Amino acid sequence: MPIKIQSDLPVKEILERENIFVMDETRALHQDIRPIQILILNLMPLKEETELQLLRSLSNTPLQIDVTFMAVKSHESKNTSRSHLNRFYETFDTIKKLKFDGMIITGAPVEMMEFEEVDYWEELTEIMDWAEKSVTSTIYLCWAAQAGLYYHYGLQKRLLDKKKFGLFWHRVMNRKIPLVRGFDDVFLAPHSRHTEVPIEDIEACEALTVLAKSDDAGLFLAMAEEGRKIFVMGHPEYDRVTLDGEYKRDLAKNLPIEIPENYYENDNPENRPLLRWRAHANNLYTNWLNYYVYQSTPYDLYGTPF
């Protein structure tokens, strides 16, 4: 699948080295099709790393994807340069009159704070309200999933005794639903978080359908409104070394951290991590784009109400 991005986006060169088909604006103008419009609200501090992970995840479908990156304006990023944000990111003010086929809201390292204490909470709630009328389907990742479950359904998060960190086994609960089509009965997925929304609270919410969960890690995947809202409590987009980097970073800072579960061969951090979740991660994003974006969105985004 060709992903349309700005020609000078730094991660473009990495994607091309990995044989992921990307095209710039000039070439895209000569394609006589309407590309799928995907908005990514990137709340992660290392934005370029997250850009690369998500663009990889969206690259396994024949659809043409036009990606727009957005950042909140009510928070000053300390880990991404202002020049990068100005060049490659939009703000809500510049896109709120537009419509999108799909949106991804990433996680953020603010889970220890109450939602209302996060400096961009008011802006985020405005974006979530806007998405109800302007986006066909939205994926909420990790902290964003907790924020969405809280804002839309009043479900509270709780602090875990220790960080949920590593790869965990999950079981598919509703195989007939297209979002998990092609999944194995059980599969591994990464988690990295200090809080959770209790699985029993999610299962008790009539608006939500649980699609995959873990005895050890709780919810992995749920949806509402026939896929208009999709909640992913883990990090399927993580690459091979993301958890490794988090583990060694926390060790260097003398923070309490345990070896990520089921991650290193023989639980030895000297060993190269085994990549054991990529196929299901790709399947998740491909199913989302196919069944909940492409097949659900109107051809004319502006001529048909959601």
**Active site members:** 142, 235, 237
* DSSP-derived pairing of the beta strands 3-4 and 22-23: parallel
In the numeric block, which tokens belong to residue 274? 């085994």
Helix (H, G, I), strand (E, B) or coil at 11: helix
> Which secondary-structure segment (H or E) carries 116?
none
What DSSP line would sit under 53-69, residue for residue?
A: HHHHHT-SSSS-EEEEE
Distance CA 2, CA 23 (A): 6
| Phi, psi (rounded to 5 degrees) for 252 | -65, -30
Residue among 127, 106, 6 nearest 57 (CA): 106
Sequence-separated (6 or more) residues with CB below 8 Å from residue 96: 130, 134
